[in-house]
Amino acid sequence: MTELLPKLLLDLTRPITLREGRETCLEIGFGGGEHLIEAASQAPEIDFIGCEPFVNGVAKLLSKIDARGLTNISLHQGDAVQILDLLPNDSLTCVYLFYPDPWPKRRHRKRRFVSQENLTRLARVMKPNAQLRFASDIDDYAAWTLARIQACAAFRWKATLAEDWRLPWPNWTQTKYESKAIAAGRHPAYLTFIKQAD
């Protein structure tokens, strides 16, 4: 694993260059990597960038990448904002934000990833019609996210029916965290937002 990590880490000393002719997706906070590894396995023609600050999650994903011999995943072990600031304009076709830390205490809510500043960053790097997919089992954070993204002209909420946010996406891989949340009686929300053309 120690040999694999340096090969996959993005170089943050300069703007990030993506492979030409390939779509790129970003997962922010991939946890144990359950979703990211399955998405990359199912779509070898697409490149994936995974951001995760915690060492345990990165180690778990590295083991899975090594076992499957995948070559379409790059990693950043740290804050996703660093990546967003170095990506080219209009470069991502999908961004995944699944079960981010809800920071439930009111005084900590400014730490939530979904903010006007980060939505501006996402809008810059996402292509027109790219999808921002968000999942949370915390009703307050889902409502917080919906309110802030609907106030951002760069994105449009895709839902037209209740099933659009109550049911997961096709080929969804349930994470360990989600399994625990459902077992505890919580009901996840699955929100999809479309990046609008400039």
- Of 11, 66, 101, 164, the active-site residue reads 101
Residue-wise pLDDT for 38-77, tens only, equals: 999 999 999 999 999 999 999 999 999 999 999 999 999 9
Task: Look at residue 103 in the predicted model and tell me its pLDDT.
Answer: 55
Give 2's pLDDT tier (boundaries 50, 70, 90).
Answer: low
Residue-wise pLDDT for 163-195, tens only, equals: 889 999 999 999 988 999 999 999 999 999 999
Contacts 24+ apart (CB under 8 A), 167-173: 168/135, 169/133, 171/38, 171/42, 172/35, 173/34, 173/35, 173/38, 173/39
* 118 pLDDT above the threshold of 90: yes
Q: What is the pTM of this model?
A: 0.94
Task: Look at residue 1 in the predicted model and tell me its pLDDT.
Answer: 59
Residue predicted with more confidence, 111 or 79: 79
The question of whether 101 is a catalytic residue gets the answer yes
Give 198's pLDDT tier (boundaries 50, 70, 90).
Answer: confident
Q: What is the CATH number of domain 4-195?
A: 3.40.50.150
3-state secondary structure of 175: coil
Domain boundaries, the chain: 4-195
